[in-house]
Amino acid sequence: MGILALITGKAGASGFGSASTAEHVTDGADASRLTVAITGGASGIGLETSRVFALRGAHVVIAARNTEAASEARKTIMEKNPTARIDVLKLDLSSLKSVRAFVDQFNSMKLPLNILINNAGVMFCPFQLSKNGVEMQFATNHLGYFLLTNLLLDTMKATAKSTGIEGRIVNLSSVAHHHTYPKGIDFDNLNDEKIYNDKMAYGQSKLANLLHAKELSRRLKEEGANITVNSVHPGLIMTNLMRHSFVLMKVLQVATYILWKNVPQGAATTCYVGLSPQLKGVTGKYFADCNVEKTSKLARSEELAKQLWDFSEELIKSAK
Q: What is the mean pLDDT of residues 145-157?
A: 98
Please provide the average confidence, as pLDDT, over all residues in the chain: 93
Environment class of 188 (CB within 10 Å of its CB; exposed 0-12, middle 13-18, buried 19+): exposed
Q: What is the mean pLDDT of residues 272-287?
A: 98
For the chain, give the percent of residues with pLDDT over 70.
Answer: 90
pLDDT, position 316: 97
Return d(Cα 95, Cα 40) in angstroms, integer: 15
Return d(Cα 314, Cα 45) in angstroms, integer: 32
Spell out the CATH class of 3-319: alpha beta
Give the pLDDT confidence of 55-87 residue by residue, as tens digits.
999 999 999 999 999 999 999 999 999 999 999
Environment class of 157 (CB within 10 Å of its CB; exposed 0-12, middle 13-18, buried 19+): middle
Give the pLDDT confidence of 244-273 residue by residue, as tens digits.
455 554 555 444 445 679 999 999 999 999
Report which secondary-structure segment, H or E, holds 166. Answer: none
Give the pLDDT confidence of 74-123 residue by residue, as tens digits.
999 999 999 999 999 999 999 999 999 999 999 999 999 999 999 999 99
**In sequence order, what DSSP letters do the residues of 168-187 get, joined into one string?**
EEEEE--GGGGSSBTTBS-G
Q: What is the mean pLDDT of residues 190-214?
A: 98
Inform me whether the pLDDT recorded for 1 exceeds 60.
no
Reported confidence tier of residue 237, pLDDT bands at 50, 70, 90: confident
Q: Are 184 and 204 in contact (CB under 8 A)?
A: yes
> pTM value?
0.92
Q: Report, as residue numbers or ranges, the catalytic residues.
A: 196
Q: What is the mean pLDDT of residues 279-304?
A: 98
Return d(Cα 206, Cα 313) in angstroms, integer: 18
Amino acid identity for residue 317 in this structure: K
Return d(Cα 33, Cα 174) in angstroms, integer: 30
Output the CA–CA distances (angstroms, integers) from residue 117 to 11, 258, 277, in the order listed: 24, 28, 17
Reported confidence tier of residue 240, pLDDT bands at 50, 70, 90: low
Q: What is the mean pLDDT of residues 299-314?
A: 98
Q: Which residues are CB-neighbours of 188 under 8 A, at least 6 positions away?
A: none
**In sequence order, what DSSP letters do the residues of 24-82 get, joined into one string?**
HHTTT---TT-EEEEETTTSHHHHHHHHHHHHTT-EEEEEES-HHHHHHHHHHHHHH-T
Give me the residues paired with residue 227 across strands: 167
How far does CA 138 lie from the centroid of its chain?
14
Domain boundaries, the chain: 3-319
pLDDT, position 256: 46
pLDDT, position 249: 47
Per DSSP, the three-state class of 126 is coil
Residue 125's φ and ψ, nearest 5 degrees, are: -80, 155
pLDDT, position 109: 98
Per DSSP (E only), the strands in the chain are 35-39, 59-64, 85-90, 115-118, 167-172, 227-233, 286-288, 291-292
Inform me whether the pLDDT recorded for 243 exceeds 60.
no
How far does CA 198 lie from the centroid of its chain?
20
pLDDT, position 320: 63
